[in-house]
Amino acid sequence: MSHIFLDTRAGRLALYLHGDLQFDREDERLYHEPLALAPAALAARRAPGKPLRVLILGGGDGLALRQTLRVPAVAEVHLVERDPGVLDLGRGKLAALNAGAFADPRARITLGDARDFLPRARGFDALIYDLTYPSDQGGASLFTVDRFSQARRALNEQGILALNAVSPEKTPEAYACIGASLSAAGLAPLPYVCSLPSFEREGYGRWGFFLASRRPIEAEELAGLPLPLEGTLLPQAFGRLRVGPNLKDELLYHVYNGEPLGWSPPFAPARFKPLAVPVPRLTAAQGFSRWLKAPRGRRSVESLLACLPFSRRERTRQALAEWGCHAELIFRELDLKAFADATLRRASELPRAWVKELRRFRTRLEEGMPDMRELLEQAWRVMAVILLVLLLANLFFPDNLYAKGFSSHYSGGGGSGSISFNFTSDRWSSRPYHGYWGHRPRGSVYDSRGNSYKPHRFAFTDPDKKKRTAASLLALSPELQLLDYGGVSYATGSPGFSAVLAPNLLSVYDAQGGPVMTLLPPASLINDAQGKVLAQRPLIEKAMSDHQAWLDWTNIGSLVGVKTDAEMDELKSVNAALLKAEASWRELPRLPLPAVPAGWQEIFAGICIEPGAPVSAPRLALITTDGSIRLRSTAPPRGGLTEEDRFIFSLLVGRFSKNHDESLKAVLAEWTNQHAAALGLTGSWGRP
């Protein structure tokens, strides 16, 4: 399922990201007015007559932007959104709902990460956190004391911070943690809660916000602000919650261990102050120990899930459910006595509650092997210990055993199956490496940060003159991928064609691996590829070291049928390919400087197009490997088509579709008229 879902069924308009509701058209005003309109209006009240600068982090749907632009004093709004898919929705299907906010000349849109933008931001009168729910380590990192300190520096002396927080009803400790973090960063937070029908239907409870500033926001300043009547300040009892600030990931524990708050009036303002002595963090091991000691009826999967603060809720539930479905297969494959004996030999390294549980299990095995029903009802507690150990190990050494979307396949006398885990801290970990292995079985190739791409696969003749199919091991960038033989592929954007980049040439191949053309790529592409190749070795070496440390630390995976050496083999394959790539990219040859006519535009690396001519078809300049220019017309050939002709046609289609280059419309119509059958086209040419 796509991480973006726009629900338009039965007249509804609601946006979901990763399965979590972001807004519903029926009540989104109740959300966006306190989040965006109120802080902008308050900033205008504090600085009368001043042109205001506003920063929005997130909010790619444009709804917070719409509310901010309603304030006449706002002169410019910078919006930073990292998801291009959400921005596309904001500019397209949601444009009517956001009143065309992205077309407003005051809007400045940046496609990027708030973590990169915020540290250098300065001089803003209002800053709006329109970010997703902090359900993983990356999300929680934007709610730390350090991040809020960066937000304070981004604001002017009288500036206002507004942020979408969590539910003070469902997770009051998490909400108080955010308030304490704001206070610890030198901001005076004012809590605000609103009842959104759509959120309550999803089970989120009443929703919380914060307004904050360097100096406290006084009650008289709030008079007349555009806050929805359905909202209110928080109960005084809420301010008595003694919760420390979020220094690293403490917020996540409170998110997953919230005790719902009784919700009744009267309501009054609450102030948050950091504790003089922060409350000690409850670790995952301590939380799991409490889970084991809890009464039998309270040891549920949900309470076990609460012990895993770095997990994404929906993926963790899915993985636990699948693990449970395949528990019988695990037990059939597992030598339970050997497992219990091997684990108890390391009892000094385990919490006492775990050791007690394992000994009880080992004693039961002495009486005879339990039947499957008893195993599934009783021994799952022991297997849960193993699950937690594996998860903690993965947190210490991310993505080396259970990486993103990994599927561990096994078979035995009892049948076959697979267990899928996805417990990592998502793409925004502080570690520089996120796992290279396991790409091809999943139909994706990953970069060193965990971003997935469609792999480049094609047949070609490699430097050893052997016909073969090359496979991608690692994405170096959205366009460049490392191939298993050490080459670097370049995305052509043309179906049926692929390209291999070398320091002094770019070779294009057809679907059968036959050569189409060889070009001199631009120096910028060559330098980028060199930098990307050379930057990978320290990362892959660190990954191999981490994985070996994991193997040295525990061999628990072998006890449940997981072949841990497969991951190291994959890492070694990537390392071997990188060594070969480095040999050719270490020293770049001196490239000739092509004399491309002024004003011509690049449509592919090494191919430029002439500005559209009113009468004749524009020409193409193909830059050859010696730096000379070979000109050819964009008009279709009179005879049969070569593979170069087919490739040129695909580039022209791409140029027209992307840039709406009207100078190519007649040219493409002529291609269709002359070569429709050979190109597999039907009908007449028109705008796609």
Q: What is the pLDDT of residues 485-522, one digit of tens each?
A: 888 999 888 888 889 998 888 999 888 788 899 999 88
Q: Write down the pLDDT at residue 355.
A: 79
Q: Which residues pair with 188 in a beta bridge?
A: 213
Residues 41-50 have a mean pLDDT of 94
| pLDDT at site 374 | 66
pLDDT given for residue 11 in this prediction: 86
pLDDT higher at 231 or 370? 370
More confident residue, 315 or 665: 665
**Which ranges constitute the DSSP H helices of 367-511?**
372-374, 380-396
- The whole domain housing 464 covers 440-585
Does the pLDDT at position 25 exceed 80?
A: yes
pLDDT of residue 614: 55
Are 460 and 527 contained in the same domain? yes
Residues 310 and 359 in one domain: yes
The band of 105, judged by pLDDT with boundaries at 50, 70 and 90, is very high
User: Is 11 domain-assigned?
Assistant: yes
- Backbone CA torsion sign across 284, 285, 291, 293: negative
Q: Is the pLDDT of residue 46 over 90?
A: yes
Asked, for residue 428, whether it belongs to a domain, the answer is no
- Residue 24 CA to residue 236 CA, distance in Å, equals 30
Percent of the residues in the chain that have a pLDDT greater than 90, as a whole number: 30
Q: What is the pLDDT of residue 55?
A: 98
Q: Is the pLDDT of residue 119 over 90?
A: yes
Whether residue 218 sits in one domain with residue 327:
no
The neighbour count for residue 428, using CB atoms within 10 Å, is: 18
Is the same domain home to 235 and 160? yes
Residue 88 lies inside a defined structural domain of this protein: yes
Q: What is the pLDDT of residue 271?
A: 52
Q: What is the mean pLDDT of residues 336-359?
A: 74
- Claim: this prediction has a pTM higher than 0.75: no
| Residue-wise burial string across 642-674, b where 16 or more C-beta atoms lie within 10 A, e elsewhere | ebbbbbbbbbbbebbeeeebebbeebbeebbeb
Q: Are residues 296 and 360 in the same domain?
A: yes
Kindly tell me if the per-residue pLDDT of 276 is higher than 90.
Answer: no
In angstroms, the CA 384 to CA 161 distance is 43
Question: What pLDDT sits at residue 343?
Answer: 72
Note whether 110 and 42 are same-domain residues: yes
Which residue in 130, 399, 645, 661 is the catalytic one?
Answer: 130
Residue 687 domain-assigned (yes or no):
no
Check whether residue 576 and residue 614 sit in a common domain: no
Mark whether 130 is an active-site residue: yes
Does the pLDDT of residue 3 top 80, yes or no?
no
Rounded to an integer, the average pLDDT of 246-257 is: 85
How confident is the model over 199-222, as pLDDT tens digits?
988 888 889 999 999 998 887 787
Q: Is residue 337 part of a domain?
A: yes
Distances (CA, A) of 60 to 71, 90, 131: 19, 6, 10
**Any domain includes 596:** no
The structural domain count of the chain equals 4
Same domain, 388 and 452: no
User: Who has greater pLDDT, 289 or 580?
Assistant: 580
Same domain, 354 and 327: yes
Last residue of a domain, one of 561, 585, 609: 585
pLDDT of 142-186, one tens digit each?
999 999 999 999 999 999 999 999 998 889 899 999 999 999 999
Report how far apart the first and last C-alpha atoms of the chain are (Å, whole number): 27
Which of the four pLDDT bands, split at 50, 70 and 90, describes residue 462?
A: low
Whether 227 maps to a domain, the answer reads yes
Q: What is the pLDDT of residue 142?
A: 93
Mean predicted lDDT score pLDDT of the chain: 76
Sign of the alpha-carbon torsion through 585, 589, 592, 593 = positive
**Contacts within 8 Å (CB) and 24+ apart, 116-121:** 117/57, 117/80, 118/57, 118/147, 118/150, 118/151, 118/154, 119/150, 121/55, 121/78, 121/150, 121/153, 121/154
Q: Which of 308-317, 592-601, 615-624 has the highest mean pLDDT?
A: 615-624
What pLDDT does 362 receive?
A: 79
Mean of pLDDT values over 664-678: 86
The last residue of one of the domains, among 389, 421, 453, is 421
pLDDT in tens, 399-408: 433 333 333 3
In a domain, 617, yes or no: yes
Confidence of residue 444 (pLDDT cuts 50, 70, 90): confident
Query: Does residue 580 share a domain with residue 445?
Result: yes
Question: Are both 373 and 519 inside the same structural domain?
Answer: no
pLDDT tens, position by position, 290-310: 666 776 666 665 566 555 544
Mean predicted confidence (pLDDT) in 344-349: 72
The arrangement of strands across the sheet holding 107-111 comes to: 107-111, 74-81, 52-58, 124-130, 155-164, 207-213, 188-194, 231-232
Same domain, yes or no, for 640 and 572?
no
What local confidence, expressed as pLDDT, does residue 391 receive? 55
Whether residue 411 is predicted with pLDDT greater than 50 in this model: the reply is no
543 and 569 in contact (C-beta within 8 Å)?
no
